[in-house]
A and B are shown apart, each in its own frame.
Chain A
Amino acid sequence: AQTVTQSQPEMSVQEAETVTLSCTYDTSESDYYLFWYKQPPSRQMILVIRQEAYKQQNATENRFSVNFQKAAKSFSLKISDSQLGDAAMYFCAYTWGGGSEKLVFGKGTKLTVNP
């Protein structure tokens, strides 16, 4: 079964510092995609970053980057130079090819940014 595990229910970081959110997944698929979504208090789900499993290079979007370890089935999110606006729930998600299209979500990590 495809599952996504986020082992950190809550994390906190000081403004301007770096924080890493963990995510592991379980799959037998070879063609799949991984995502991090952010859900601020407004509850709007916002795509943060996307990684294709066949790409070895880690995805980067400005201050957000991932550490994709395919063999370990690990997909962590690093937020550099944390800002107050980064405070939110972060969900790791996975989908696979072959026409499934479903997103499987982890339970989320609540990130607090301290001024």
Chain B
Amino acid sequence: GAVVSQHPSRVICKSGTSVKIECRSLDFQATTMFWYRQFPKQSLMLMATSNEGSKATYEQGVEKDKFLINHASLTLSTLTVTSAHPEDSSFYICSARLFGTDTQYFGPGTRLTVL
């Protein structure tokens, strides 16, 4: 139980294009999902908290207009990197909080490379 999927697992795009990453909770409802960014050999950095049906809450320093988050259902959240640039290249990980608990379950991550 508590499986979270992410799609795509890898994406390469050209500078200036937009990329959408999907995060799905497969076997449970997640009222809250989280998006993280992880640089090589570093810990996870929380980007934003996404609540179903409401606007995402972004961490300080994260550009809301560049990283668009939509949480339209209890099982799906999307992260769109708009006008991507090489500095946006990173590993992006989502997690979903099992409703009624304090525990987050993580997706397998998406490696974004912007050329």
Contact = CB atoms under 8 A, between A and B. Distances in A.
B108 A42 contact: yes
Interface of B: 32, 34, 38, 42-44, 46, 49, 91, 93, 95, 97, 102-106, 108-109
The 4 closest A-B pairs by CB, nearest first: A45-B106, A105-B43, A33-B102, A44-B108
Given A35-B103, A43-B91, A50-B103, A101 B97 contact: yes
Q: Is the interface of A mostly helix, strand, loop or mixed?
A: loop
B46 A102 contact: yes
Contacts of A43: 38, 91, 93, 108-109
Contact of A101 (B32, B38, B43): B32
The CB with the most chain A CB atoms within 10 A, among B46, B102, B103, B106, is that of B102
Contacts of B106: 37, 44-46
B43 to A, nearest CB: 5
Contact of B42 (A47, A101, A102, A107): A107
Given A45-B93, A103-B34, 5 more contacts: A45-B106, A47-B105, A103-B104, A105-B44, A108-B43
